[in-house]
Amino acid sequence: MLIGLQGSGKTTTAGKLASIIRKQGKKPLLVACDIYRPAAIKQLQIVGKQLDIPVYANENSKDVNSIAKQALTEAIKKLNDVIIIDTAGRLQIDEILMQELKDLKINLKPHEILLVVDSMTGQDAVNVADAFNKELGIDGIVLTKLDGDTRGGAALSVKKITGRPIKYIATGEKLNDIEVFHPERMASRILGMGDVLSIIEKAEESFNLEEASKLEESLKKNKFDLDDYLIQLRQMKKMGSFSSILNMIPGMSKLKDVEIDDKEFVRIEAIICSMTKEEKKNPKVLNGSRRLRIAKGSGTTVQQINKFMQSFEMTQKMMKEMTTGKGRNKLMKNLNLDGVKDFQDF
Protein backbone atom coordinates (compact mmCIF):
# COMPACT_ATOMS: atom_id res chain seq x y z
CA MET A 1 0.00 0.00 0.00
CA LEU A 2 1.47 3.33 -1.09
CA ILE A 3 0.69 6.36 1.08
CA GLY A 4 1.80 10.00 1.14
CA LEU A 5 0.77 13.58 0.55
CA GLN A 6 -0.75 14.76 -2.72
CA GLY A 7 1.93 15.56 -5.28
CA SER A 8 4.59 13.30 -3.79
CA GLY A 9 4.49 11.01 -6.84
CA LYS A 10 2.53 8.00 -5.52
CA THR A 11 0.77 7.14 -8.78
CA THR A 12 3.93 7.18 -10.90
CA THR A 13 5.81 5.32 -8.16
CA ALA A 14 3.11 2.62 -8.19
CA GLY A 15 3.86 1.99 -11.87
CA LYS A 16 7.62 2.04 -11.31
CA LEU A 17 7.37 -0.51 -8.49
CA ALA A 18 5.10 -2.71 -10.58
CA SER A 19 7.73 -2.69 -13.33
CA ILE A 20 10.47 -3.76 -10.88
CA ILE A 21 8.27 -6.50 -9.42
CA ARG A 22 7.45 -7.86 -12.87
CA LYS A 23 11.17 -8.18 -13.64
CA GLN A 24 11.38 -10.41 -10.56
CA GLY A 25 8.97 -12.86 -12.18
CA LYS A 26 5.79 -11.65 -10.45
CA LYS A 27 2.41 -10.67 -11.93
CA PRO A 28 1.48 -7.30 -10.35
CA LEU A 29 -1.94 -5.63 -10.34
CA LEU A 30 -2.25 -1.87 -9.88
CA VAL A 31 -5.28 -0.72 -7.88
CA ALA A 32 -6.75 2.79 -8.11
CA CYS A 33 -7.94 3.81 -4.64
CA ASP A 34 -7.58 7.57 -5.08
CA ILE A 35 -11.19 8.55 -5.73
CA TYR A 36 -10.76 12.24 -4.88
CA ARG A 37 -8.03 13.76 -7.03
CA PRO A 38 -9.30 14.66 -10.52
CA ALA A 39 -8.01 12.22 -13.17
CA ALA A 40 -6.08 10.16 -10.58
CA ILE A 41 -7.68 6.95 -11.82
CA LYS A 42 -7.05 7.89 -15.45
CA GLN A 43 -3.41 8.65 -14.68
CA LEU A 44 -2.88 5.21 -13.15
CA GLN A 45 -4.62 3.59 -16.13
CA ILE A 46 -2.29 5.44 -18.53
CA VAL A 47 0.76 4.33 -16.51
CA GLY A 48 -0.50 0.74 -16.56
CA LYS A 49 -1.08 0.86 -20.31
CA GLN A 50 2.44 2.19 -20.94
CA LEU A 51 3.92 -0.67 -18.91
CA ASP A 52 1.39 -3.27 -20.09
CA ILE A 53 0.43 -3.96 -16.45
CA PRO A 54 -3.27 -4.44 -15.52
CA VAL A 55 -5.08 -1.79 -13.47
CA TYR A 56 -8.19 -2.38 -11.37
CA ALA A 57 -10.52 0.61 -10.96
CA ASN A 58 -14.19 1.17 -10.13
CA GLU A 59 -15.08 4.73 -11.08
CA ASN A 60 -18.69 4.24 -9.94
CA SER A 61 -17.75 3.54 -6.32
CA LYS A 62 -16.81 6.03 -3.61
CA ASP A 63 -15.93 3.36 -1.05
CA VAL A 64 -12.18 2.72 -1.17
CA ASN A 65 -12.43 -0.33 1.12
CA SER A 66 -14.96 -1.91 -1.21
CA ILE A 67 -12.75 -1.14 -4.24
CA ALA A 68 -9.72 -2.70 -2.53
CA LYS A 69 -11.66 -5.88 -1.65
CA GLN A 70 -12.96 -6.13 -5.22
CA ALA A 71 -9.38 -5.75 -6.47
CA LEU A 72 -8.24 -8.60 -4.20
CA THR A 73 -10.94 -10.87 -5.65
CA GLU A 74 -9.91 -9.81 -9.17
CA ALA A 75 -6.25 -10.53 -8.43
CA ILE A 76 -7.04 -14.05 -7.21
CA LYS A 77 -9.17 -14.70 -10.28
CA LYS A 78 -6.53 -13.41 -12.72
CA LEU A 79 -3.61 -15.03 -10.83
CA ASN A 80 -1.93 -11.73 -9.95
CA ASP A 81 0.41 -12.44 -7.05
CA VAL A 82 1.20 -8.83 -6.03
CA ILE A 83 -1.24 -5.96 -5.50
CA ILE A 84 -0.02 -2.35 -5.43
CA ILE A 85 -2.60 0.05 -4.02
CA ASP A 86 -2.41 3.73 -5.02
CA THR A 87 -4.17 5.59 -2.19
CA ALA A 88 -5.43 9.15 -1.95
CA GLY A 89 -3.31 11.98 -0.62
CA ARG A 90 -4.01 15.44 0.74
CA LEU A 91 -2.15 18.73 0.56
CA GLN A 92 -1.61 18.30 4.27
CA ILE A 93 -2.17 15.59 6.87
CA ASP A 94 -5.73 15.53 8.26
CA GLU A 95 -7.96 13.19 10.28
CA ILE A 96 -10.16 12.14 7.33
CA LEU A 97 -7.14 11.01 5.29
CA MET A 98 -5.60 9.12 8.19
CA GLN A 99 -8.83 7.36 9.10
CA GLU A 100 -9.34 6.18 5.52
CA LEU A 101 -5.80 4.79 5.42
CA LYS A 102 -6.23 3.12 8.82
CA ASP A 103 -9.44 1.43 7.62
CA LEU A 104 -7.65 0.19 4.49
CA LYS A 105 -4.85 -1.19 6.62
CA ILE A 106 -7.28 -3.03 8.93
CA ASN A 107 -9.42 -4.47 6.12
CA LEU A 108 -6.64 -5.41 3.68
CA LYS A 109 -3.79 -6.24 6.06
CA PRO A 110 -1.12 -5.25 3.50
CA HIS A 111 2.23 -6.99 3.80
CA GLU A 112 3.98 -3.67 3.37
CA ILE A 113 3.09 0.01 3.71
CA LEU A 114 5.47 2.28 1.81
CA LEU A 115 5.49 6.04 2.38
CA VAL A 116 6.23 8.05 -0.76
CA VAL A 117 8.06 11.26 0.13
CA ASP A 118 8.98 14.20 -2.10
CA SER A 119 12.69 14.75 -1.39
CA MET A 120 12.53 18.31 -2.74
CA THR A 121 10.50 19.38 0.31
CA GLY A 122 13.69 19.12 2.36
CA GLN A 123 13.23 18.87 6.11
CA ASP A 124 9.43 19.04 5.71
CA ALA A 125 9.76 15.49 4.39
CA VAL A 126 10.94 14.48 7.86
CA ASN A 127 7.82 15.90 9.54
CA VAL A 128 5.56 14.12 7.01
CA ALA A 129 7.37 10.80 7.49
CA ASP A 130 7.19 11.11 11.28
CA ALA A 131 3.45 11.86 11.25
CA PHE A 132 2.53 8.99 8.91
CA ASN A 133 4.71 6.56 10.85
CA LYS A 134 3.10 7.45 14.18
CA GLU A 135 -0.43 7.13 12.78
CA LEU A 136 -0.06 4.07 10.54
CA GLY A 137 3.24 2.38 11.23
CA ILE A 138 5.07 2.40 7.90
CA ASP A 139 7.41 -0.38 6.75
CA GLY A 140 9.59 1.60 4.37
CA ILE A 141 10.09 4.83 2.44
CA VAL A 142 10.34 5.74 -1.24
CA LEU A 143 12.15 9.03 -1.94
CA THR A 144 11.02 10.71 -5.17
CA LYS A 145 12.27 13.63 -7.28
CA LEU A 146 15.95 13.08 -6.70
CA ASP A 147 16.74 14.19 -10.26
CA GLY A 148 16.96 17.93 -9.64
CA ASP A 149 19.36 19.92 -7.48
CA THR A 150 18.29 17.80 -4.50
CA ARG A 151 20.96 15.31 -3.49
CA GLY A 152 18.93 13.51 -0.87
CA GLY A 153 20.17 14.99 2.39
CA ALA A 154 16.66 14.56 3.81
CA ALA A 155 17.16 10.80 3.47
CA LEU A 156 19.46 10.81 6.47
CA SER A 157 16.93 12.63 8.67
CA VAL A 158 13.94 10.57 7.52
CA LYS A 159 15.71 7.33 8.39
CA LYS A 160 16.82 8.68 11.78
CA ILE A 161 13.37 9.98 12.83
CA THR A 162 11.22 7.04 11.67
CA GLY A 163 13.66 4.19 12.18
CA ARG A 164 12.30 2.75 8.92
CA PRO A 165 14.48 1.88 5.90
CA ILE A 166 14.51 3.84 2.66
CA LYS A 167 13.80 1.11 0.11
CA TYR A 168 13.70 2.89 -3.24
CA ILE A 169 14.63 6.23 -4.78
CA ALA A 170 13.08 7.75 -7.91
CA THR A 171 15.52 9.76 -10.00
CA GLY A 172 13.32 11.04 -12.84
CA GLU A 173 9.91 11.13 -14.47
CA LYS A 174 10.38 8.13 -16.76
CA LEU A 175 8.87 4.84 -15.60
CA ASN A 176 12.29 3.19 -15.39
CA ASP A 177 13.79 5.99 -13.29
CA ILE A 178 13.71 4.09 -10.00
CA GLU A 179 16.34 2.09 -8.16
CA VAL A 180 16.91 0.21 -4.95
CA PHE A 181 18.32 2.50 -2.26
CA HIS A 182 21.94 1.91 -1.28
CA PRO A 183 23.09 4.07 1.67
CA GLU A 184 26.76 4.16 0.66
CA ARG A 185 25.87 5.24 -2.88
CA MET A 186 23.60 8.01 -1.62
CA ALA A 187 26.38 9.22 0.68
CA SER A 188 28.68 9.32 -2.34
CA ARG A 189 26.16 11.39 -4.32
CA ILE A 190 25.60 13.81 -1.44
CA LEU A 191 29.35 14.38 -1.28
CA GLY A 192 29.47 14.94 -5.05
CA MET A 193 31.56 11.82 -5.65
CA GLY A 194 29.20 10.19 -8.13
CA ASP A 195 27.73 6.69 -8.18
CA VAL A 196 29.51 4.45 -10.67
CA LEU A 197 27.91 1.20 -9.43
CA SER A 198 24.40 2.48 -10.19
CA ILE A 199 25.49 3.47 -13.70
CA ILE A 200 26.85 -0.04 -14.25
CA GLU A 201 23.58 -1.61 -13.02
CA LYS A 202 21.52 0.64 -15.29
CA ALA A 203 23.75 -0.23 -18.24
CA GLU A 204 23.52 -3.98 -17.56
CA GLU A 205 19.74 -3.71 -17.41
CA SER A 206 19.32 -1.45 -20.45
CA PHE A 207 21.98 -2.53 -22.95
CA ASN A 208 21.37 -5.33 -25.40
CA LEU A 209 24.32 -7.77 -25.52
CA GLU A 210 23.69 -8.65 -29.16
CA GLU A 211 23.75 -4.98 -30.17
CA ALA A 212 26.87 -4.45 -28.04
CA SER A 213 28.59 -7.29 -29.90
CA LYS A 214 27.67 -5.73 -33.26
CA LEU A 215 29.12 -2.40 -32.12
CA GLU A 216 32.34 -4.14 -31.02
CA GLU A 217 32.69 -5.70 -34.49
CA SER A 218 32.09 -2.31 -36.12
CA LEU A 219 34.76 -0.70 -33.92
CA LYS A 220 37.26 -3.44 -34.72
CA LYS A 221 36.74 -2.73 -38.43
CA ASN A 222 37.00 1.04 -37.80
CA LYS A 223 33.40 1.39 -38.97
CA PHE A 224 31.15 3.48 -36.76
CA ASP A 225 28.23 4.79 -38.79
CA LEU A 226 24.93 6.53 -37.99
CA ASP A 227 23.12 3.20 -37.54
CA ASP A 228 25.59 2.33 -34.76
CA TYR A 229 25.16 5.81 -33.30
CA LEU A 230 21.35 5.43 -33.28
CA ILE A 231 21.54 2.04 -31.53
CA GLN A 232 23.73 3.48 -28.77
CA LEU A 233 21.50 6.55 -28.43
CA ARG A 234 18.38 4.41 -27.93
CA GLN A 235 20.11 2.21 -25.37
CA MET A 236 21.30 5.30 -23.49
CA LYS A 237 17.71 6.60 -23.40
CA LYS A 238 16.62 3.40 -21.64
CA MET A 239 18.95 4.26 -18.77
CA GLY A 240 16.96 7.40 -17.92
CA SER A 241 17.45 11.14 -18.33
CA PHE A 242 20.95 12.24 -19.29
CA SER A 243 21.07 14.71 -16.39
CA SER A 244 20.42 11.92 -13.85
CA ILE A 245 23.20 9.79 -15.41
CA LEU A 246 25.57 12.76 -15.39
CA ASN A 247 25.00 13.26 -11.66
CA MET A 248 26.26 9.70 -11.05
CA ILE A 249 29.59 10.29 -12.80
CA PRO A 250 32.37 11.27 -10.38
CA GLY A 251 33.21 14.97 -10.69
CA MET A 252 30.26 15.75 -12.94
CA SER A 253 28.27 17.34 -10.09
CA LYS A 254 30.34 20.46 -10.79
CA LEU A 255 28.40 20.81 -14.05
CA LYS A 256 25.04 21.22 -12.30
CA ASP A 257 24.65 24.73 -13.77
CA VAL A 258 24.93 23.37 -17.32
CA GLU A 259 21.50 22.93 -18.90
CA ILE A 260 20.98 19.51 -20.46
CA ASP A 261 18.04 19.21 -22.84
CA ASP A 262 16.98 15.57 -23.20
CA LYS A 263 14.76 16.65 -26.11
CA GLU A 264 17.94 17.04 -28.13
CA PHE A 265 18.20 13.24 -28.27
CA VAL A 266 14.69 13.09 -29.75
CA ARG A 267 15.73 15.55 -32.46
CA ILE A 268 18.88 13.55 -33.23
CA GLU A 269 16.85 10.36 -33.50
CA ALA A 270 14.41 12.07 -35.88
CA ILE A 271 17.31 13.34 -38.03
CA ILE A 272 18.91 9.90 -38.38
CA CYS A 273 15.56 8.19 -39.04
CA SER A 274 14.92 10.66 -41.89
CA MET A 275 18.04 9.49 -43.72
CA THR A 276 18.32 6.77 -46.34
CA LYS A 277 20.37 3.61 -45.73
CA GLU A 278 23.12 4.98 -47.96
CA GLU A 279 23.26 8.26 -46.01
CA LYS A 280 23.50 6.45 -42.66
CA LYS A 281 26.34 4.24 -43.92
CA ASN A 282 28.18 7.05 -45.69
CA PRO A 283 27.34 10.53 -44.30
CA LYS A 284 29.82 12.12 -46.71
CA VAL A 285 27.12 11.99 -49.43
CA LEU A 286 25.03 14.53 -47.49
CA ASN A 287 25.00 17.53 -49.79
CA GLY A 288 22.82 20.63 -49.48
CA SER A 289 19.68 19.19 -51.11
CA ARG A 290 19.86 15.99 -49.05
CA ARG A 291 20.22 17.97 -45.82
CA LEU A 292 17.23 20.13 -46.77
CA ARG A 293 15.14 16.99 -47.36
CA ILE A 294 16.22 15.50 -44.01
CA ALA A 295 15.42 18.76 -42.23
CA LYS A 296 11.88 18.73 -43.62
CA GLY A 297 11.43 15.07 -42.75
CA SER A 298 12.67 15.43 -39.16
CA GLY A 299 11.07 18.77 -38.31
CA THR A 300 14.47 20.39 -37.80
CA THR A 301 16.60 22.96 -39.62
CA VAL A 302 19.62 22.53 -41.87
CA GLN A 303 21.66 24.38 -39.21
CA GLN A 304 20.69 21.77 -36.60
CA ILE A 305 21.67 18.98 -39.00
CA ASN A 306 25.03 20.64 -39.68
CA LYS A 307 25.66 20.96 -35.93
CA PHE A 308 24.79 17.32 -35.33
CA MET A 309 26.97 16.09 -38.20
CA GLN A 310 29.94 18.04 -36.80
CA SER A 311 29.33 16.39 -33.43
CA PHE A 312 29.00 12.94 -35.04
CA GLU A 313 32.27 13.37 -36.98
CA MET A 314 34.04 14.16 -33.69
CA THR A 315 32.49 11.04 -32.10
CA GLN A 316 33.49 8.96 -35.12
CA LYS A 317 37.06 10.24 -34.87
CA MET A 318 37.20 9.50 -31.14
CA MET A 319 35.90 5.96 -31.70
CA LYS A 320 38.55 5.39 -34.36
CA GLU A 321 41.32 6.62 -32.05
CA MET A 322 40.09 4.32 -29.27
CA THR A 323 40.52 1.26 -31.46
CA THR A 324 43.97 2.13 -32.83
CA GLY A 325 47.15 1.33 -30.95
CA LYS A 326 48.25 4.89 -30.14
CA GLY A 327 44.85 6.14 -29.07
CA ARG A 328 44.06 2.95 -27.17
CA ASN A 329 47.34 3.10 -25.24
CA LYS A 330 46.62 6.70 -24.29
CA LEU A 331 43.15 5.68 -23.05
CA MET A 332 44.60 2.79 -21.01
CA LYS A 333 47.17 5.09 -19.45
CA ASN A 334 44.56 7.68 -18.49
CA LEU A 335 42.40 4.97 -16.93
CA ASN A 336 45.34 3.16 -15.28
CA LEU A 337 44.52 0.07 -17.38
CA ASP A 338 47.94 -0.55 -18.91
CA GLY A 339 47.69 -4.30 -18.19
CA VAL A 340 44.44 -4.73 -20.12
CA LYS A 341 45.09 -6.31 -23.52
CA ASP A 342 41.63 -6.31 -25.02
CA PHE A 343 38.40 -4.34 -24.66
CA GLN A 344 36.67 -7.56 -23.61
CA ASP A 345 38.98 -7.73 -20.57
CA PHE A 346 37.14 -4.85 -18.99
Tell me which of 5-19, 213-227, 242-256 is least confident: 242-256
Question: Residue 333 contacts by C-beta under 8 Å, 6 or more apart in sequence?
Answer: none
Q: What is the pLDDT of residues 25-68, one digit of tens each?
A: 999 999 999 999 888 999 999 999 999 999 999 988 889 999 99
C-beta contacts of 320-327 below 8 A and 24+ residues apart = 320/222, 320/224, 322/219, 323/219, 323/220, 323/222, 324/222
- DSSP label of 37: S
Q: What is the pLDDT of residues 262-311, one digit of tens each?
A: 678 888 899 999 999 999 988 889 999 999 999 999 999 999 999 999 88
Beta bridge partners of 144: 118
C-alpha dihedral, 108 to 124 to 186 to 205, nearest 10°: 50
With a pLDDT cut of 90, the percent of the chain lying above it is 39
Question: In the predicted model, is pLDDT for residue 185 greater than 70?
Answer: no
What's the pLDDT at 138? 93
Tell me, yes or no, if the pTM score tops 0.95: no
* Cβ-based burial of 154 (10 A; exposed 0-12, middle 13-18, buried ≥19): buried
* From the candidate CATH numbers 3.40.640.10, 1.10.1660.10, 1.10.260.30, 3.30.460.80, the one assigned to the domain spanning 209-345: 1.10.260.30
Portions of the chain given CATH number 3.40.50.300: 2-181
Q: What is the pLDDT of residues 114-132, one digit of tens each?
A: 999 887 777 788 888 898 9
Tell me which of 214-228, 262-276, 320-334 is least confident: 320-334
**Which pLDDT band holds residue 340 (cuts at 50, 70, 90)?**
very low
Question: In the predicted model, is pLDDT for residue 17 greater than 70?
Answer: yes
Portions of the chain given CATH number 1.10.260.30: 209-345
CATH architecture of the domain with residue range 2-181: 3-Layer(aba) Sandwich (3.40)
